[in-house]
Structure 1
């Protein structure tokens, strides 16, 4: 394969993937007229991933000259959007245009170069800022490459990246990054439906039938999600009735609803990290969403398992169990939660 990329283009078909947040800015217009115009004028195939996702993948395929034309149109469209948004903003300095490419991790070494020499050369010769993410995108073998600068700098930068990608094809199979849908799991707990929004479980009035089916499948795989039934009426040790009311989410002076009970889960040591998360972020999220108290026992010498104790109302416990099982399913299958 000829590896030089010229302005006149080559008979080489290349695919470049872009990662965009929110509504894809290149769609625009009535029924995607902007992207239709870009396809016609650049000669590149431009596809936007479907689905209600916070991120979308824009795939641009074609001869190199068509790809450069498409990128030029996208970069200028982004700049136009920035200028339009600034007309209603007190900001005086125009922020740079920023694009995120999705590149197979096996090609990132060539893009960075020995001791960072290649990426430095690209930055200096194009005037664009280029950053290669250290981690791979979730459930994929691809990394994000962020380019920012003026539209002209971005176009020159993309040309140089295309040269590198043509000279150093991906090694092995590439698992492409697929953004997760934004639709949140609907959870059934204590006769109430919930959807997860940010760090909160929001009561959800619809889809009770679907929820009930979800509740019936709360244990995705028995060995990991096994629960020891709580002793009926077992109380959480509390020092005062006020503490009990706070725990149950009641304001002082109201009768506490169902008595707190306790459930226990046994989780393999090698999976406990996905429940705890970095610096405890995941377990804290689960505590906040479910309203349950969750304690993870310290590792015992010679044991390959850890015990998790969940305390709260039946609805709190049910929700906490579901969220823990969703994390385990995600870790074991390498896929998103339900």
Structure 2
């Protein structure tokens, strides 16, 4: 099969733990042909959505780990599957790419995750569909509403809707110190919408990434555990990643959401769970394949490929 990966520049990959690279390796080993382009290389012309793409071969060397062929212009509907693996932020150019990919899907291209489903599932706001699974949460631009929420819950976390890797996450304790300043800064004086949640002390046990692939649940999570005085478990913020089996409560949430999200075209999803609460539904470029595989022995990449081949037959 021909697999087109739309991803960030290959030179930017962290080869020791990149999930997209792990997918590429296992697909190549299974005999599939890899193709690569960046989102900027996707275009519409002559009535078709195309990509200026290159054949890709993964090499065993760490220093020169890939080889690219000549640039070819191919309609997206000539690939067996197009895999959208561009990292956030979800900005206007990311949105433009999803619109082009939706046009490609109408022309018969198989795109995973489905671009319409990506647009319909804000990675933070989408949890509002499942209020019984989430901690007390507020989504607003208004400082007065956030002050009232803080008055009720005392210990809260504030974060931007378009952040990633723990960027812009602040905790405000019962003293309310700097609450107004944080909200004004993050929200740009009411221009940007913020998410506010009750602080969950279970974070000391980790912000757990649970992977859903093809409607099935990977039975191990990566607990991203904050270090020192940090409240953020994100690996990009210095958290320690520890793979562990899903608890009964975590599995219950994952099993409930997996078929629902897969039915919508969200083939690969990363749930974020703190304690028994759902805090985010990641649909753009979920990661943690390598860390879970290396620590648990459960081959996430092979699990993904098996599900992908089933999806395409």
**TM-score category (smaller protein):** under 0.3
**Structure with the bigger percentage of strand:** 2
TM-score (norm 1): 0.23
> Which of these two proteins has the greater Rg computed from alpha carbons?
1
Structure with larger RCO (C-alpha < 8 A, sep 6+):
2
> TM-score, normalization: structure 2?
0.24
